[in-house]
């Protein structure tokens, strides 16, 4: 682009955003639709833990994609695109959730699933893990009822944790993010992430132990 004086100028902000977007797509080896297909399901799961319902989560994810496309010119590649994208998602989901005045949803615990790096952190439920080798349908009625009750209690205990501890447990234990990426997403140090996760595990373990002792 040239100015009125005939000298070359840099691209305008919209042009820079288009260029940055194209560079991202080229480097990723796929088009924008493929990027959405790749990240959308996980984005919806993460957003759902901050807002009241699936419709709200979908709104947050759509807002995140729009914000990401508008902000691509400022993406400096100091982190991966995925980490940068999810940092935007979490910020918007937090804001949306606060407006709804609700507690962080931890519904994924219903399936008793822990993935990724979180698999090695299951020690916070060392002898009373939620779920088990058998499906609920394969258990005796008493076992199925107890398993359901334990899942409910774990959800209750996690919902009672401080907000940041809930967030760290969600991202690490359920989504499998490494400490460094969680650090970027939540804008706290990796050391602080580890401390928060340890405290969360300790509290949930103690609450579950107290609950089980009351049943004896």
Do residues 113 and 211 share a domain?
A: yes
Instruction: Give the pair of three-digit tokens for residue 58.
Output: 């979908």
Q: What's the distance, Cα to Cα, between the start and end of the chain in Å?
A: 77
Clarify whether residues 75 and 115 are in a common domain: no
**Domain region containing 64:** 13-100
Question: 28: Cβ–Cβ under 8 A, 6 or more apart, which residues?
Answer: 35, 81
pLDDT-derived band at 172 (thresholds 50, 70, 90) equals confident
- The pLDDT, as a whole number, for residue 105 is 43
Could you tell me if 47 and 83 lie in one domain?
yes
Assess if residue 96 is contained within a domain: yes
Contact status, residue 108 vs residue 174, Cβ threshold 8 Å:
yes
Which of 37, 68, 100 is the C-terminal boundary of a domain? 100
Segment 51-95, tens digit of pLDDT:
878 888 899 999 999 888 888 777 766 777 888 888 889 888 888
CATH number, domain at 78?
1.10.1740.10
Interatomic CA distance for residues 53 and 169, integer angstroms: 20
Percent of the chain residues topping a pLDDT of 70: 60
Q: List the alpha helices (DSSP H) in 29-113.
A: 32-48, 54-71, 81-100
Q: What is the pLDDT of residue 198?
A: 93
Q: Is residue 167 part of a domain?
A: yes
List pLDDT tens digits, range 10-49.
444 445 545 555 555 555 445 677 788 888 888 888 888 8
């Amino acid at each position: 682009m040239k100015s009125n004086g005939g000298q070359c100028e840099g691209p305008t902000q919209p042009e820079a955003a288009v260029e940055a977007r194209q560079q991202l797509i080229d480097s990723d080896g796929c088009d924008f639709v493929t990027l959405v297909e790749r990240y959308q399901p996980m984005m919806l799961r993460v957003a759902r833990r901050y807002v009241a319902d699936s419709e709200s989560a979908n709104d947050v994810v759509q807002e995140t994609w729009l914000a990401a496309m508008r902000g691509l010119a400022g993406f400096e590649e100091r982190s991966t695109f995925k980490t940068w994208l999810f940092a935007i998602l979490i910020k918007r989901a937090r804001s949306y959730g606060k407006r709804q005045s609700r507690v962080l949803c931890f519904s994924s615990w219903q399936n008793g699933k822990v993935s990724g790096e979180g698999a090695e952190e299951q020690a916070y439920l060392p002898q009373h893990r939620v779920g088990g080798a058998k499906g609920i349908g394969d258990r005796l009625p008493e076992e199925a009822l107890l398993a359901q009750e334990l899942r409910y209690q774990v959800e209750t205990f996690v919902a009672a944790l401080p907000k940041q501890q809930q967030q760290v447990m969600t991202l690490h234990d359920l989504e499998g993010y490494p400490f460094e990426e969680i650090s970027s997403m939540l804008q706290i140090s990796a050391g602080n992430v580890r401390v928060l996760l340890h405290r969360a595990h300790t509290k949930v373990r103690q609450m579950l132990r107290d609950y089980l002792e009351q049943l004896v």
